[in-house]
Amino acid sequence: MTKNKIKEVACKQLAESGYERATLSSIAKEVGIKTPSIYAFYKNKEDLFMAVYKDLLEDYYFYITNSVQNITDGTVKEKLYQIIKELCHYHLSQPEKTASYTKLAFVLPPTLNDDVRETFSEMEVVLSELLRDIFSKGIEQEVLKNQPVDDLIASFLCLMDGIFLELIYYQEAKFKRRVEQTWSIYWNGICKKLDE
């Protein structure tokens, strides 16, 4: 379907070149159609990239929530580590989507800004709730130190952000070592040491 191919190419070029340089004409050329044909499917350049963005978020959201929900029976540590793992895997396995996402998140045409921010924080809310469950249970089960769940959530989100940023800058090998180290330190920090 042409409509989807346009969206995919738009996403790819967004990843490579950012919003401004991802020209409708260059997208059209790569799709193999003429520029005005895009307007048969999308009202606007903005419209097209909002669609791209919504897809990106949805895709990411399904991936992460699915991953988390599929490991209902692991320990708290396993679950959290799994989230990090899935975060890394998601971005490493489809770097184009991540690059695309990044461009949209950092440099936006002013008109798109509000819409994007909105879906962006919706996303975070969902993730926060998932984490809240895990952390609450962790404290209940006395696997984690007893501390405000909101803070735990915040610190975990911060960890994810840090990893996300590194993921953009470093090569895969270098990056993976860093993740392991950071995770281990993170875990040793929040867990309740029973046996020490």
What residues make contact with DNA under the rule CB under 7 A?
A: 1-3, 20-26, 33-37, 39-41, 44-46
CA–CA gap between residue 33 and residue 10 (Å, rounded): 13
Interface with a copy of itself, residue 18, by CB under 8 A = yes
Give the span between the Cα atoms of 183 and 78, in whole angstroms.
12
**Which listed option, DNA, a copy of itself, none, makes contact with residue 171 (CB within 5 to 8 Å by class)?**
none
Q: Is 177 in the site for a copy of itself (CB under 8 A)?
A: yes
Tell whether residue 34 is a contact of a copy of itself (CB under 8 A): no
- Tell me which residue of 57, 182, 179 sits closest to 115, measured CA to CA: 57
φ/ψ of 12, rounded to 5, equals -60, -50
The residue behind tokens 């540590």 is: 77
Residue 21 near a copy of itself by CB under 8 A: yes
Phi, psi (rounded to 5 degrees) for 75 = -80, 170
Please calculate the CA angle 60-138-141 and round it to the nearest 5 degrees.
Answer: 150
Residue 184 interacts with a copy of itself (CB under 8 A): yes or no: yes
Which stretch in 28-36, 45-53, 133-141, 147-155 sits in contact with a copy of itself by CB under 8 A? 147-155
Choices 1-9, 30-38, 87-95, 172-180 (CB under 8 A): range interacting with a copy of itself: 172-180
Out of DNA, a copy of itself, none, what residue 130 binds, judged by CB under 5 to 8 A for its kind, is none
Binding to a copy of itself by residue 75, rule CB under 8 A? Answer: no
For a copy of itself, give the closer residue by CB, 1 or 189: 189
**Judged by CB under 8 A, which stretch of 59-67, 86-94, 101-109, 128-136 contacts a copy of itself?**
101-109
Q: How far apart are CA 117 and CA 28, in angstroms?
A: 28
Q: Helix and strand tally (H, E) in the chain?
A: 8, 0
Q: Which of 100, 98, 104 is closest to 116 using CA atoms?
A: 104
Tokens encoding 3: 């409509």
- Does the protein bind a copy of itself through residue 172 (CB under 8 A)? no
Which residues lie near a copy of itself (CB under 8 A)? 17-21, 102-103, 106-110, 151, 154-155, 157-166, 168, 177-179, 181-182, 184-190, 193, 195-196
